[in-house]
Chains A and B, each alone.
Chain A
Amino acid sequence: MSTSFHPDKKGFYGPFGGAYIPEMLIPNIESLKKKYLKILNSDTFRKSFKTLLEDYAGRPTPLYYATRLSEHYGCNIWLKREDLAHTGSHKINNTIGQILLAREMGKKRIIAETGAGQHGVATATVCALMGLKCVVYMGETDIERQAPNVARMKMLGAEVKTAISGSRTLKDATNEALRDWIANPLNTYYLIGSVVGPHPYPDLVARLQSVISGEIQWQLRNKTGKAEPDYVVACVGGGSNAAGSFYHYLSTPEVKLIGAEASGQGLTSGKTAASIALGETGVIHGSMTYLMQTDDGQITEPYSISAGLDYPGIGPLHAWLNQTGRARYLSVTDQEALDAALLITRKEGIIPALESAHALAALDQLELKSEQNVVVTISGRGDKDMKAYMEKLKLL
């Protein structure tokens, strides 16, 4: 029997995933579990989702042949331009899908967690679109680092609540969102931003993001005559853009899948977010997966120059893809990502998000041949990272 890359009934990808949640969350998770596939597969949902993705979010996003970057690497580099989607990243694919789901489930209040603020902005955007109340939890440290995104969320009408527990970053914002859901079980929908959390979230978010690889297939076929590239490369924090980029190729082993995770200042520096390279198995936010922890099982604080990649765990699908060898995960340092960002900016006139720069930097670690087609997902644009670029690339 071939390996399945979809979760079983209980939400497990091999040993990973599941729903390790307190009793207080069980009714909500059960109800979501019962309804999500039915709603996602309904004609009404599919029609609304497609229309909004096309007319509102600007899909399909281009698959762009990067001529000068291709010359540089000596192969064919195709950039999947999620940075051109509305709100500036792939996050909008997921929030459009989940807001339709929440509306269908009759929920009136939306909560979300955010790290860098991209998912928070994408959530606040669809809440404004649907006229739903929106509360976004964000760690105190991130609020300070990401002021423009906080302002965007507020302008969109969202309430931004400061997570002051723990390390005051993404993992704590996620804890706060879960606590909010415990306290407001009836009217509230938790719109999670990545392929993490208890089942069915990892599967739900992967399905909604799979629009990315769905498009890559037909776009690449149109351009090259073949739907299958040699490589698909994407960055991995929780792993939603990677899950979406890999999705339609999961059972096509000739397509090599590469995830780029952030090793921050280096794998052994103690300042890293490389959950796969360093992680051990454990439970975080309701899911069994790789995570970064102390010898006593306390979750440690990750570090990366990219706020979207500094999550101490990883989606259970990726843990499984790693364990089965279906995907390979490479570590990329802050410096390598910065170099790659500058390279693509100068070669192609595209300023990528720091997250996406990690995917580009991973190209240096691959042995690429001239006839090969390599798809790299540019998950978001670099506007939000200008402060870091200004400092690190000495642009002032």
Chain B
Amino acid sequence: MKKLISLFKQKRNLLSVYFTAGFPELNSTVPILKALEEGGADFVEIGMPYSDPLADGPVIQNSSSRALTNGMSLKVLFEQLKDIKQQVSIPLILMGYLNPVLKFGFNAFIERCKETGISGLIIPDLPYETYIEKYEPVFARNKISNIFLITPQTPKQRILNLDQASTSFLYMVSSAAVTGTRQGLSKRQIKYFKRINSMKLSTPRMVGFGISNHETFKEVCQYAHGAIVGSAFIKHLENYGHDQEAIINFVKNLKTGEQTDI
């Protein structure tokens, strides 16, 4: 968690990249992580594949079912990540749904995250209320940050509550939608970003959902601490596999806008 907090203190225009563990191949998790770091990703969200990912669009759904077919599971993932602290130094976040975590055992899962060096968790179907009631102490004890989402429809008071309960950053969902790529930013989205900015929250924000290229990344960075790219990267992996050079170029291009032939 410390790593993540100091990252937000030190840098702006952060780029976080999401990918699904076990996709395109069961053992591509670690090579992808290394390439993302080398390309300049500031932190990474590793998706824990699930059979019923209800907040995800078709691209991530598809990567999840492929990863499951490849044999990915939480046990396999932790095994793959067991020495990751020695191999990758950027903060790592796990993102996935509640049921596999419950099945693994919630406390056991959090402890395993700590051992592995995971900084934070995004579990979309673990609501704020349940977190506060049941799980906050185990997150705190193991110094794992729970990351909340806010959306254009989240009421003001709830945003303030989520801000209060946050320990690293808030994940700002860019529009009412499931994950997936969209073209540019609308006036309505910019108004929403500005509205959230004017609330002077104590937690930094990352914008996610619909960010797919350098232009949108740059634009979003005017209103938030950085942005998260998911589906666009999954599409890249679909097209080019987990080729190191191609991933490095993908990330560089997102951050700087410079094209490199691949």
Contacts and interface: CB of A to CB of B under 8 A. Distances in A.
A84 interface: no
A42 B106 CA distance: 42
A26 B176 contact: no
Contacts of A151: none
Contact of B154 (A27, A165, A175, A284): A27
A293 B103 CA distance: 9
B102 A282 contact: yes
Interface in B123-179: 124-130, 148-151, 153-155, 158, 173, 176-178
B71 to A, nearest CB: 10
Contacts of A19: 127
A297 B124 contact: no
A269 interface: no
A298 B51 contact: yes
Interface stretch (B34-42, B55-63, B194-202, B231-239): B55-63
B23 interface: no
Given A165-B61, A297-B103, A297-B104, A24 B176 contact: yes
B190 interface: no
B106 to A, nearest CB: 11
Contacts of A182: 54-55, 176-178
A22 B125 contact: yes
A59 interface: no
Interface in A316-342: none
A184 B150 contact: no
Contact of B50 (A20, A24, A298, A300): A298
A20 B97 CA distance: 10
B115 interface: no
A297 B149 contact: no
A35 to B, nearest CB: 15
A18 B130 contact: yes
A7 B77 CA distance: 37
B52 A284 contact: yes
Nearest to B57: A179
Interface residues of A, number: 38
B101 A26 contact: no
B75 interface: yes
A279 interface: no
B98 interface: yes
Interface string A164-193: 011000011001001100111110000000
A145 to B, nearest CB: 21
Nearest to A20: B125
Given A183-B176, A284-B99, A296-B103, A22 B54 contact: yes
Contacts of A371: none
A172 to B, nearest CB: 8
A77 interface: no
A212 interface: no
A166 B149 contact: no
A300 B56 CA distance: 19
B99 to A, nearest CB: 5
B54 A178 contact: yes
A266 interface: no
Nearest to B53: A175
A10 B51 contact: no
A157 interface: no
A182 B129 CA distance: 19
A20 B130 contact: yes
A295 B103 contact: yes
Contact of A282 (B61, B73, B99, B128): B99
Contacts of A300: 51
B74 interface: yes
Interface string A280-296: 11111110000101011
A299 B99 contact: yes
A26 B158 contact: yes
A283 B98 contact: yes
Given A185-B153, A296-B74, A296-B75, A175 B54 contact: yes
Contacts of B73: 296
A343 interface: no
Contacts of B125: 20-22, 283, 286
Contact of B178 (A179, A297, A299): A179
Given A185-B153, A297-B74, 18 more contacts: A20-B98, A20-B127, A23-B148, A24-B55, A24-B151, A165-B58, A165-B61, A165-B65, A179-B55, A282-B102, A283-B98, A284-B99, A295-B103, A296-B74, A296-B100, A296-B103, A298-B51, A300-B51
8 closest Cβ contacts across the A-B interface? Answer: A297-B103, A297-B100, A22-B124, A23-B149, A296-B73, A298-B51, A27-B153, A22-B55
